[in-house]
């Protein structure tokens, strides 16, 4: 990403800058690849959390969007998005009531369930409100998070299918780069297993008399390959829209395709051996541990154009940049651009981002930032 001096002057650092032209390319590329495989694309908005980008994805051909939280879904609905899948168990009366109310004001709302308890409570509230909620049953295909075990899926599906307030239309999973219960760097192998396991689940449900029409899976590292198995009707990648270092390591992005940068200012240079920038742990995510397998990241973000520099240490408001050669060569007032490791958690730490669209720089609110319910 290249910014002119004038564009840099327009930034209030620390901040995130997004190259809109690159985003458009990323959106079109994923839509084309998934479409060519005869599969629908329902992108997860956890990465951008903004109606602006959700509308861009829909205009490119996405069938709808995916959220993790009902509060995110409400924000997207306020932004004009009418087809939403909340791919997360909605437990707690406060969540369930909000889901039921949201279903009344959007064209289509789908809610994820993975336990009998969750389905019963959702069903009770739906019936109390005189509505029917469309649901999908989550299957655990190896990630070890939420999701009913495959062996129990048919029995739970039968129970859900018998609930008058719910309409079971599909199954879904999140698997990522897992094969036979362990991490793998083979995207196609992980995706092939995902397709096979979801097919097994759908067949088990059908044998129990429960037929589903939608089979949803895939992530940014596996989405295209999962679509190509022909066993899924829909994939739900999220990070692909911006891309990051992690996707590069997972073989589905090139560095030049990363559309996001942090912009920071050097605020102090007490010693030649390090410089202090105006972003710390409240600016840069730290959910990826440094110097650990499989990728052994050296710093919390990569300094663009300066591979010798490392963001090696952070406090809340201070980032410490060190140099492989001993001296950073940085001076107070310098602006640095850094490339995120994991962009999803990065965007959620900022109230606003800057959109770089050609020569124009525009500050825009991150609509669903901090929506955790």
d(CA 338, CA 14): 11
The reported pLDDT for the residue numbered 211 is: 96
Same domain, yes or no: 210 and 260: no
Domain harbouring 356, CATH code: 2.40.37.20
Mean pLDDT, 10 residues at a time, the chain of 373 residues:
92 98 98 98 98 98 98 98 98 97 97 98 97 98 96 98 98 96 95 98 98 97 98 98 97 98 98 97 94 94 97 97 96 98 96 96 97 95
pLDDT value at position 369?
A: 96
* CATH code for position 187: 3.20.20.10
Looking at the structure, do residues 84 and 226 belong to the same domain, yes or no? yes
Closest CA to 202 of 171, 226, 167, 163: 171
Does residue 247 sit within a domain?
no
Answer yes or no: pTM beyond 0.85.
Answer: yes
Is residue 245, in this structure, part of any structural domain at all? no
Q: Residue 213 is inside which H or E element, if any?
A: none
Is position 373 within any domain?
Answer: no
Residue 136 β-bridge partners = 112, 170
The per-residue pLDDT for 169 is: 98
How much is the pLDDT for 131?
A: 96
Residue 229 sits in the same domain as residue 360: no
116: Cβ contacts below 8 Å, ≥ 6 apart: 156, 159
Say if residue 200 is in the same domain as residue 332.
no
Q: Of the candidates 240, 270, 305, which is a domain's last residue?
A: 240
Residue 59 pLDDT? 98
In a domain, 246, yes or no: no
**Would residue 197 count as lying in a domain?**
yes
For residue 194, being part of any structural domain is answered with yes
130/110 same-domain check:
yes
* Contact predicate 90/126, CB 8 Å: no
* Segment 309-362, tens digit of pLDDT: 999 999 999 999 999 989 999 999 999 999 999 999 999 999 999 999 999 999
End of a domain among 182, 216, 240? 240
- Would 308 be classed as within a structural domain? yes
Domain span at residue 66?
20-240
Residues 360, 212 share a domain = no
Total number of domains in the chain: 2
How far apart are the C-alpha atoms of 309 and 324, rounded to whole Å?
A: 6
Report whether 205 contacts 187 (CB < 8 A). Answer: no
**Do both 183 and 285 map to the same domain?**
no
Give whole-number Cα distances, 7 to 10, 12, 98, 232, 265, in Å.
Answer: 5, 11, 41, 44, 14
- Claim to verify: residue 187 and residue 229 sit in the same structural domain: yes
The last residue of one of the domains, among 189, 211, 240, is: 240
Q: What's the confidence (pLDDT) of residue 206?
A: 98
Q: Looking at residue 64, what is its pLDDT?
A: 98
Q: Are residues 322 and 278 in the same domain?
A: yes
Q: Which pLDDT does position 66 carry in this prediction? A: 98
Task: Enter the tokens of residue 266.
Answer: 């050097």
Domain assignment present for residue 371? The answer is no
pLDDT at residue 250, as a whole number = 96
CB contact at 8 A, 39 and 236? no
Residues 225, 261: one domain? no
Q: Are residues 67 and 169 in the same domain?
A: yes
Query: Are 62 and 144 part of one and the same domain?
Result: yes
């Amino acid at each position: 990403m290249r910014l002119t001096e004038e564009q840099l002057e327009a930034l209030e650092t620390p901040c995130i800058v997004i190259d809109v032209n690159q985003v458009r390319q990323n959106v079109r590329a994923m839509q084309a690849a998934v479409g060519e495989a005869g599969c629908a694309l329902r992108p997860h908005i956890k990465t951008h959390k903004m109606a602006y980008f959700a509308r861009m994805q829909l205009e490119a051909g996405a069938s709808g969007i995916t959220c993790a939280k009902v509060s995110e879904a409400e924000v997207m609905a306020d932004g004009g998005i009418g087809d939403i899948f909340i791919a997360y168990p909605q437990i707690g009366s406060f969540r369930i009531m909000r889901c039921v109310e949201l279903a009344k004001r959007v064209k289509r709302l789908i809610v994820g369930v993975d336990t009998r308890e969750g389905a019963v409570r959702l069903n009770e509230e739906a019936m109390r409100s005189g509505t029917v909620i469309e649901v999908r049953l989550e299957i655990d295909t190896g990630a070890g998070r939420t999701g009913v075990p495959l062996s129990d899926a048919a029995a739970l599906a039968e129970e859900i299918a018998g609930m008058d307030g719910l309409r079971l239309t599909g199954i879904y999973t999140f698997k990522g780069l897992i094969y036979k219960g362990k991490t793998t760097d083979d995207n196609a192998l992980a995706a092939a297993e995902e397709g096979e396991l979801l097919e097994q689940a759908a067949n088990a449900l059908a044998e129990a008399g429960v037929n589903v029409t939608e089979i949803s899976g895939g992530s940014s590292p596996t989405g295209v390959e999962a679509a190509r198995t022909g066993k899924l009707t829909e994939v739900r990648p999220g990070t692909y829209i911006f891309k990051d270092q992690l996707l590069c390591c997972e073989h589905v992005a090139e560095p030049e395709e990363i559309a996001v940068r942090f912009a920071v200012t050097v605020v102090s240079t007490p010693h030649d051996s390090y410089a202090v920038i105006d972003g710390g742990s409240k600016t840069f995510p730290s959910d990826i541990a440094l110097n650990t397998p499989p990728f052994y990241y050296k710093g919390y973000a990569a300094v663009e154009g300066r591979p010798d520099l490392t963001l090696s240490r952070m406090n809340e408001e201070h980032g410490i940049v060190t140099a492989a050669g001993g001296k950073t060569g940085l001076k107070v007032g310098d602006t640095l651009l850094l490339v995120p490791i994991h962009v999803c958690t990065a965007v959620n730490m900022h109230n606003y981002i800057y959109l770089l669209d050609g020569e124009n720089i525009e500050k825009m609110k991150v609509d669903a930032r901090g929506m955790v319910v």
